[in-house]
Amino acid sequence: MIDAGRRVRAASSVALPPGFRSRLLEGLTPSEIRAVLAVARQRKISPNEVLQNEGDPTRHLFLMVTGHGAFYKTTPEGDKLFLRWISPGDAFGLATLLQTQPQPSFTTVQALRGCSVFAWERVSAHALASQIPRLRENTYTLATDYVRSLGDALAARANQTAEQRLARVLVDSARHIGCAGCAGIEFGLTNEQLAQMADVSVFTVSRQLSEWQSQGILTKSRKKIVIRAPERLSSPPQQK
């Protein structure tokens, strides 16, 4: 209706897929959502593309629509620490919403396979946040969640064994990027990717997966893991 007079904009504009839910937009009125989407751009992301590089100023606010990505932290020595998965509905680059000046981002965000995202320029995002109080509140909530998962990642590194960290990675991956197959939840990751994410050597991954396979907890083949009994991955460490 508002867009009646500018069909060109409307045509190139973006729309939410049916059934799409995002905590970023939760509780916003339809007209607010329209205002937000009006200044968004839809982008296709190729596999492994880096959307945000740790240290670079945050240029965009992103909302994952389809596909998956991951937050990483790069250490001074250069290796990547996996922090958490990004799934459809997750937003990142939240700093754009709050900060007046662009600030270096703390994490790298990389697409796993192809993705489709909504993107907002920093200034547009900031303007939206200043106009829509509910958007600011949602941002606080989401930022809080990210800090919490950063904290969890820290706790996990600090005092968990290689086995526990690997189990955590498997469970998280199953939850976020897994598809329910006939034999369990399956997802495609190489030993090397798992090794990076859990911060263990590929050898440890290989050995541990073999052991779990022999216990019937999972099945592995080349570049693919099928988790049969996720509950047996989360509990045993505590018993010990």
Residues near a second copy (CB under 8 A) are 73, 75-77, 79, 81, 95, 98-100, 103, 106-107, 137, 140-141, 143-144, 147-148, 150-151, 153-155, 157-159, 199
**Alpha-helix runs per DSSP H in the chain:** 7-12, 30-38, 95-98, 122-131, 133-159, 162-177, 191-198, 202-214, 231-234, 236-239
Give the separation between CA 213 and CA 193, rounded to whole angstroms: 18
Helices (H) and strands (E) in the chain, counts: 10, 12
Among 26, 54, 121, 199, binds DNA (CB under 7 A): 199
Amino acid at 185: I
Q: Say which DSSP state 220 is in.
A: E
Token pair 């920093």 is found at 122
Q: Please report how close the Cβ of residue 104 comes to a second copy at its closest, in angstroms.
A: 9
Among 48, 183, 203, 216, binds DNA (CB under 7 A): 203
Taking CB under 7 A as the rule, does residue 222 contact DNA?
A: yes
Q: Are 24 and 138 in contact (CB under 8 A)?
A: yes
Q: Answer with the entry of DNA, a second copy, none that 35 interacts with (C-beta below 5 to 8 A by kind).
A: none
Element (H, E) at 171: helix 162-177
Q: Please report how close the Cβ of residue 104 comes to DNA at its closest, in angstroms.
A: 29
> Is the CB of 163 or the CB of 186 nearer to a second copy?
163
**Three-class SS state of 115:** strand
> Is the CB of 6 or the CB of 223 nearer to DNA?
223
Taking CB under 7 A as the rule, does residue 161 contact DNA?
A: yes
> Is the CB of 45 or the CB of 209 nearer to DNA?
209
Which two three-digit tokens encode residue 175?
């939850």
Give the separation between CA 51 and CA 206, rounded to whole angstroms: 31
> Is the CB of 155 or the CB of 229 nearer to a second copy?
155
Taking CB under 7 A as the rule, does residue 186 contact DNA?
A: no
Q: Report the interface residues with DNA, using CB under 7 A.
A: 161-163, 190-192, 199-207, 209-210, 220-223
